[in-house]
Amino acid sequence: MARIIAIANQKGGVGKTTTSVNLSASLALMEKKVLLVDCDPQANSTSALGMDGKNAGYDLYTSLVDNENLSSSILKTDIDYLDLLPATTDLAALELELVDKEKREYFFKELLSPLADEYDYIILDCPPSLGLITLNSLCFAEELVIPLQCEFFALEGIVKLLQTYETVKKKLNPDINVLGVILTMYDSRNKLAKQVKAETERCFPKLVFKTIIPRNVRLSEAPSFGKTILHYDIKSKGAEAYLALAKEVEARKIVK
Ligand code: ADP
Ligand code: MG
């Protein structure tokens, strides 16, 4: 059975997509079978892998609306062990579509659960909001990974996300647990970043991953070439960090 991991933070630009794509690629390099699900209408995970849901004709929206299509919506990527359920901007319509559906929080779970047998990991790249798509991801996932950019107000955002998580766990999905907080875009020369790191480690001593993702220009360049950091520059600090994170994720299993 796959480990189902939601990468979520309602703040935009904190490294959700970068983490989803490069963690997925790093797990795939460890020969773990991974399905990356692009849950964000901006489709950044899809394009970061050099793919286009539109050309394929399917995305999470079409497959959710017409569930016959689900397995044909899954695209093989150029990377061994890594498949993608792509997104297009049509996915934005899904939030509206779901509003008056019964059991609307469990739509992803119903449709994606059958895939859990086929993969070691299902990674969900969430959009930057706490709307219905993120809620669906949290109701399907068993593990939550929170990317946190070391900047002012970072902790306030995380407190709100953790409140949502607690509500989901209590009322909708008792199986979910926080796997960890991953500090991203860390610049050790920046005093504020150091303070946020120290404060996060103080508030969540058990949750912060040992691996820290440094600010690394190679990581920001890679998506424009449709490549993961491992395929763009395997020797970069960014690649090193995501490979280390994958090992930590693999080792840090939540005991059920
Ligand atoms: P989110 O999915 O949370 O909106 P992204 O992963 O898209 O965030 O990251 C936001 C921007 O920051 C992107 O342009 C991305 O390339 C860049 N970025 C992410 N992580 C890093 C990093 N560690 N170093 C440098 N740039 C990064
Ligand atoms: Mg994103």
Residue span of the structural domain in which 121 resides:
3-180
- Cα gap 231→140, rounded to integer Å: 30
Ligand 1 is surrounded, with C-beta below 6 A, by 12-18, 44, 128, 184-185, 213, 215-216, 219-220, 223, 238
pLDDT in tens, 14-60: 999 999 999 999 999 999 999 999 999 999 999 999 998 776 666 77
Q: What is the pLDDT of residue 163?
A: 95
Look at residue 255 and tell me if it is in a domain: no
Q: What is the pLDDT of residue 84?
A: 95
**Is residue 196 over pLDDT 60?**
yes
User: Within 10 A of 103 (CB to CB), how many other CB atoms are there?
Assistant: 10
Share of the chain above pLDDT 90, in %: 78
The ligand that comes nearest to the alpha carbon of residue 151 is 1
pLDDT in tens, 115-150: 999 999 999 999 999 999 999 999 999 999 999 998
Look at residue 70 and tell me if it is in a domain: yes
**Is residue 96 over pLDDT 90?**
no
According to DSSP, residue 50 is labeled T
Look at residue 160 and tell me if it is in a domain: yes
Q: What is the pLDDT of residue 67?
A: 65
Ligand 1 atom nearest the C-alpha of 125 is 2
pLDDT band at 218 (very low <50, low <70, confident <90, very high): very high
User: Within 10 A of 88 (CB to CB), how many other CB atoms are there?
Assistant: 22
Q: What is the DSSP string of 60-78?
A: HHHHHHSGGGHHHHPEE-S
Look at residue 224 and tell me if it is in a domain: no
Q: How far is the CA of 13 from the centre of ligand 1 (A)?
A: 6
Q: Give me the count of residues in the chain.
A: 256
> What is the value of ipTM here, to two decimals?
0.99
Look at residue 167 and tell me if it is in a domain: yes
Q: Pick 60 or 76 by higher pLDDT.
A: 76
State the residue for tokens 């796997």: 179
**Domain count across the chain:** 1
Q: How far is the CA of 221 from the centre of ligand 1 (A)?
A: 10
User: Which CATH number is 136's domain given?
Assistant: 3.40.50.300
Q: Name the residue of 20, 46, 182, 220 to mutate for ligand 1: max ligand atoms within 8 A of Cβ.
A: 220
**Which one, of 179, 188, 176, lies nearest residue 212 by Cα?**
188
Q: How far is the CA of 84 from the centre of ligand 2 (A)?
A: 15
Say if strands 82-85 and 75-76 run parallel, antiparallel, or are unpaired.
antiparallel
Look at residue 215 and tell me if it is in a domain: no
Ligand 1 atom nearest the C-alpha of 44 is 7
Look at residue 59 and tell me if it is in a domain: yes
Across the chain, mean pLDDT equals 92
Look at residue 221 and tell me if it is in a domain: no
User: Average pLDDT for residues 204-214, to the nearest whole number?
Assistant: 95
The ligand that comes nearest to the alpha carbon of residue 147 is 1
> Which residues, chain by chain, have CB under 5 Å from ion ligand 2?
16-17, 44
**Is residue 181 over pLDDT 70?**
yes
Q: How far is the CA of 10 from the centre of ligand 2 (A)?
A: 10
Q: What is the DSSP string of 181-202?
A: EEEESB-TT-HHHHHHHHHHHH
- Cα gap 53→189, rounded to integer Å: 39
**Is residue 256 over pLDDT 60?**
no
Q: How far is the CA of 206 from the centre of ligand 2 (A)?
A: 26
**Is residue 69 over pLDDT 70?**
no
Q: What is the pLDDT of residue 197?
A: 94
